[in-house]
Amino acid sequence: MKRSDVSLIALRRILRATELYGRDLARAAGLTPVQIRVLQIVAETGQSTPKAISARMGVSQPTMTTLIDRLVAKGLVERRRSEADRRQMNIFVTEAGREAIARAPDPLHDRYVAAFEALPDWEQAMLVAALERVAGLLDAGHLDVAPVLDLGDIRKAPPAN
Amino acid sequence: MKRSDVSLIALRRILRATELYGRDLARAAGLTPVQIRVLQIVAETGQSTPKAISARMGVSQPTMTTLIDRLVAKGLVERRRSEADRRQMNIFVTEAGREAIARAPDPLHDRYVAAFEALPDWEQAMLVAALERVAGLLDAGHLDVAPVLDLGDIRKAPPAN
DNA sequence: CATAAATGCTTCGTAAAGCGAAAAAATGAC
DNA sequence: GTCATTTTTTCGCTTTACGAAGCATTTATG
């Protein structure tokens, strides 16, 4: 078997493990995986806009509206019209939202970090190098599909987010 | 920043790239990402059962029934009652199903494999070892996948930088 | 043999997630 | 002032997902 195939199988195991585990965790927290992700993205900077979040998650704006609707209904985020540009909505995490995030830890975080930090130093270094390499390979492939950040954009304006 | 955090960020880049790219590809092929996955699982061995597929995908049986319904409606798979145990349904890929798979390449496969195989030999070995290691860390809590780690290979890999 | 229990799948009802088309509201350019 | 653009929402639809209940079949138990 080719080594590229072996690496693909390992990659799929990673994808599968995170997906299944994420579903379990979300269920335990009373949220869906998607809701947790939206919440985390907003919480990173404390506020965001529907447009920015949808771009970040690779989802359409109408979809983001409904996702935010649900989080608002649960009292985890709130909408406030932007003062600067009144077309925009600013999304803020509420106190309840912060608590929800704290209760619903990152799907990857707990299990993985504990195991990772138990590894010997040289192995940690190897894993970091390898993961960044693979992420680079995959990101590069994705750029072909959506070459958003080309020179034109760089010339025009500093990237948001 | 801790190395576990750096590795988590890389992992998230990997997850994000595969998710976004998978959605694009599925759309281009006229199938949804989930439908492609079901089809691929069935095609691996040419046949399977709803129970087995649902277990493999981490999804309930009712969900699998509706997924198979859609694939049957599209003529990509067919149901046949098992002779050995008439409670079971066997799912077979049709010729049209095989063609659909051929037209809708694996979200990861094409670009990644090309990039991977262009890497020098030692780096391929390092990536395989690292990915299997990470997959092992993540699946550790999950029952089904055999966490067979070839420690020999890992120790042979040169420590990154 | 008979019947109770377990297994495998489907149906039903409900909810979440996703999209495109188009409406609404504000901005910016002319 | 008017028109094009941007940002978000509304509407209608499909897909994905689950639990509960139901049906047919097989296996276990008396």
Mean of all residue pLDDT scores within chain A: 81
Spans of all domains in chain A: 3-137
Chain C: bases < 7 Å from a protein Cβ? 7-13, 16-22, 25-28
d(CA A115, CA A97): 28
CATH code given to domain B3-137: 1.10.10.10
pLDDT interval class at B93 (50, 70, 90): very high
Q: Residue B62: what pLDDT?
A: 95
Q: Model confidence over B35-81: pLDDT tens digits? A: 998 998 999 888 999 999 998 888 999 999 999 999 999 999 999 99
Q: Do A112 and B138 touch (CB under 8 A)?
A: yes
Confidence of residue B140 (pLDDT cuts 50, 70, 90): low
pLDDT tens per residue across span A54-110: 998 889 999 999 999 999 999 999 999 999 899 999 999 999 999 998 887 666 666
Tell me if B8 and A113 make a contact (CB, 8 A cut-off). yes
CA to C1' distance (Å), from A67 to C16: 9
Highest mean pLDDT out of A15-19, B35-39, B148-152: B35-39
pLDDT score recorded for residue A113: 84
Chain A residue with CA closest to B131: the answer is A10
Q: How far is CA A97 from CA A102, B49, B133, in A?
A: 9, 41, 34
Q: Which of B160, B2, B161, B111 is nearest to A127 (CA)?
A: B160
User: Of the candidates A94, A74, A80, which has an alpha carbon nearest to the alpha carbon of residue A50?
Assistant: A80
Residue A158 or residue B12, greater confidence:
B12
Q: Which residues get their CB within 7 angstroms of nucleic chain C?
A: A 32-35, 58-60, 62-63, 66-67, 70, 85-87; B 23, 49-52, 61-62, 64-66, 68-69, 79, 85, 87-89
The answer to which of A74-78, A102-106, B103-107, B142-146 has the lowest mean pLDDT is: B142-146
Q: What is the pLDDT of residue B29?
A: 75
Residue nearest to nucleotide C26 (CA to C1'): A87
The helix (H) or strand (E) run that includes residue A91 is strand A89-93
pLDDT for position A25: 79
- Nearest chain A Cα distance for residue B93, angstroms: 22
In sequence order, the β-bridge partners of residue A81 are: A89
